[in-house]
Amino acid sequence: MELRRYLSLLKKWGWLILLITGLAAAGSYFYSRTIPPTYRTTAVLLVGQEQQSANPTPSEIYVSNNLAQAYALLVNQPSVLQAAAKELNWEGSWESLYFVVTANAPQGGQTFNVSATAGTPQRAQEIANEIARQVILQSPISQQQKASDDQRAFITEQQALMQSQIVVGQKQLTELSQQAALETDQAKLDNLNTRISALQTKIENWQRTYLSMGTLLNQSTGKYLTVIAPAPLPAAPVSPNILQNVLLAAAVGLVLAVGVVLLLEYLDDTIKSSEDVERVLQQTTLASVARISPIRKPGDNLITLLHPRSPIAEEYRSLRTNLRYSGIENPGGALLVTSANPSEGKTTTAANLAVAMAQSGKRVILLDADLRRPGIHPLFGLSNQMGLMTLFWEETPRVEEVMQTTDVPGLRVIAAGEPPPNPAEILDSKRMTEILVELRSQADMVVVDSPPLLVVADANILASRCSGAIIVMDSGRTRTDAARKVVETLTRSKVKILGIVLNRVSGRRGGYYNNYYYYASPKSNGKAKGTPALSVKGNGHANGNGHTNGNGAGKTETPSEKSKM
């Protein structure tokens, strides 16, 4: 599929894509607003063992890195959850804590995270911190840590007492040394020296003991487990994430909308544009005609006569120009206008094309060969009492006698006449061939309006007697299968297909068909100066650019006729 086709689909279905995407986003927004908020917070614990060596071995590092993952498994153990539920006064069973607490340990690290979710920030913080505390209390190294802490406290207390004794002993030693320095009595001096020596020995013993206690105090317990980052109070809820939900829903809606559009396009196998004509039929689009509106009476379909300056009339003139270079004989050519199915606009196309050709100075005969549902005469307000069928009477009148003039100089019309019981046999007769030959000799171009080709065999019969055929297709309504069958049928009959006329092209596809009255003269209401208006009488029914039919007599009152009345 070409980029141009994608852009065409976007232009055509953009409103649907925006609608579905917008509804999905809006629905997600309002639904997210109804979801109660959920808060999450995380406490970080450090677990490992102190290294005794300045150069630890790889095995020691491996053990240290994997201790965190081992201890993270304790978070969801029943003993931890039961104790935490009791301390937290948990509303439900302790098992329900399993669904609000999670733990994970980063790969290769000595920390692990304890996360908790709750409906309020305070409750989430309480749960996370309590679980972290219970993990420490319930861990295998908890008793070791307690014993080590008691030992440290005892050693610290004894070290303080020993320090006090050393200070007192050193003070006494100083006093004894001062007395010995002043003593003159030898006996007393010997006694003081003995006391000084004994006290020095005690102080040295006390100092050695003090140093031993320091060594014991500084010894590592091996393993440790502690909270290094208590759970903070969460500032914003983690769920619902309204922005994320809306964006996700919009993305899903966009994908769904694109899928719906592609499905609709896949199921819609109609011909909608000139690109479809080229891609499916390998044919040329001669014209793309917009829908004619409003249609209040059959004559309103003659846009080339009523509003010759409109873009739609200009498109019919483009069709006339394109046919000029198609290789059809001129003068003496016969052009068949047909369609696949009824009500696709072939009659309106044939009539407006005939008017456009006559306006260029050509002698044109418009022949209504749709003997089953004639529709030319109500467009021009003409009588259907005499027409093509009249030429098959036993008392055959001259062709000129069944031709009816119009307000368009150079354009004559032959109505269908009374409907026969066997239209196909009549059109396939030798007499029909003679009529077409005679008409071609009297005109520069004979435009033949035929029945739909796929409905009856009439059009195929007529096509073999004409110089070429154009196929009218209702944009967005004619299916590709029907379009292919028309082309294949005419090709098998060795009929020259001049091209395709796309009818009722919407403004989105037609490009410049916004409002054809924009180009009309405001003083003349869209009618060209000097172009007479048609006064149509009769019982006809019309649909914009569609098939018209009516069996009542109609008459165009020309100035000459009014003067005779």
Instruction: State both tokens at 1.
Output: 């599929």
Rounded Cα distance, 83 and 5, in Å: 67
pLDDT on residue 127 = 95
Q: What is the pLDDT of residue 556?
A: 36
pLDDT tens digits, residue range 380-399? 999 999 999 999 987 878 89
Across 225-232, average pLDDT: 91
User: What kind and span of H or E run contains 150?
Assistant: helix 142-182
Q: Which of 15-19, 225-229, 315-319 has the lowest mean pLDDT?
A: 225-229
CA distance 430 to 116: 97
Residue 425 Cα distances to 132, 358, 458, angstroms: 100, 31, 9
Band (562; pLDDT cuts 50, 70, 90): very low
Among the listed residues 99, 450, 79, 513, the one whose alpha carbon sits nearest the alpha carbon of residue 288 = 513
> What per-residue confidence (pLDDT) applies to 559?
33
Rounded Cα distance between 381 and 392, Å, is 24
Q: Confidence class of residue 58 from pLDDT cuts 50, 70 and 90? A: low
**Predicted local confidence at residue 144, as pLDDT:** 63
Q: What pLDDT shows up at residue 49?
A: 62
Which SS3 state, helix, strand or coil, does residue 98 take?
A: helix
**What DSSP element (H or E) covers 9?**
helix 3-34
pLDDT in tens, 347-385: 999 999 999 999 999 999 999 999 999 999 999 999 999
Which pLDDT value is given to residue 108?
Answer: 72
User: Which of 165, 241, 171, 175 lies closest to 208, judged by CA?
Assistant: 165
Cite the DSSP H helix spans in 268-364: 274-276, 303-306, 311-324, 346-359
d(CA 474, CA 394): 40
The region of weakest confidence among 15-24, 155-164, 210-219, 467-476 is 210-219
Domain map (residue ranges) of the chain: 274-547
* Cα 564 from Cα 539, distance rounded (Å): 25
Q: What is the per-residue pLDDT for 326?
A: 76
| pLDDT at residue 435 in the model | 93
Interval 284-310 mean pLDDT: 91
Beta-carbon count within 10 A of 38 CB: 16
Mean pLDDT within 55-75? 72
Give the confidence band of 181 by pLDDT, cuts at 50, 70, 90. confident
Average pLDDT for residues 271-293, to the nearest whole number?
90
Question: Residue 109: its pLDDT value, please?
Answer: 76
pLDDT per residue as tens digits for the range 161-179: 888 988 998 898 888 888 8
pLDDT of residue 43: 95
Which amino acid is it at 41?
T
Position 158 scores a pLDDT of 87
> Residues 424, 456: contact at Cβ < 8 Å?
yes
Non-local (6+) Cβ contacts of 160 within 8 A are: none
Q: Quick one: DSSP state of residue 329?
A: -
Give the mean pLDDT of the chain: 83
Q: How confident is the model at residue 345 (pLDDT cuts 50, 70, 90)?
A: very high
Q: Is the dihedral of CA 345, 350, 353, 358 positive or negative?
A: negative
More confident residue, 408 or 394: 408
User: What separation, in Å, do the N-terminal and C-terminal C-alpha atoms of the chain show?
Assistant: 65
pLDDT tier, 537 (very low <50, low <70, confident <90, very high otherwise): very low
CA 152, 158, 164, 166 torsion-angle sign = negative
Which has the higher per-residue pLDDT, 541 or 214?
214
CA distance 422 to 104: 90
- Amino acid letter, residue 151: Q
Contact present, 473 and 339 (Cβ < 8 Å)? yes
Average pLDDT over residues 70-98: 90
pLDDT on residue 10: 86
Q: Is the pLDDT of residue 37 over 50?
A: yes
Mean pLDDT of 199-205: 89
pTM above 0.75, yes or no: no
E strand spans, 462-496:
468-474
Q: What are phi and psi of 514, to 5 degrees?
A: -85, -50
Q: Could you give the percent of the chain with pLDDT greater than 90?
A: 52
> The domain 274-547: what is its CATH number?
3.40.50.300
User: Residue 480 is encoded by which pair of tokens?
Assistant: 């590709």
Q: What is the pLDDT of residues 108-156, one digit of tens each?
A: 778 899 999 999 999 999 999 999 999 988 877 666 666 777 777 888 8
- Angle, nearest 10°, between helix axes 121-138 and 142-182? 70
Mean pLDDT of 252-272: 90
Q: What residues have CB less than 8 Å from 510, skipping those under 6 apart?
A: 288, 290
CA distance 313 to 303: 6
Residue 503, φ and ψ in degrees, nearest 5: -110, 155
For 324, the token pair is 């000029």
Q: What is the mean pLDDT of residues 56-64?
A: 63
User: Which of 460, 461, 469, 433 has its CA nearest to residue 328?
Assistant: 469
Instruction: Read off the pLDDT band of 222 (50, 70, 90).
Output: low
Please compute the mean of the pLDDT values over residues 413-420 and round it to a whole number. Answer: 93
Cα separation, 373 vs 550, in Å, equals 8
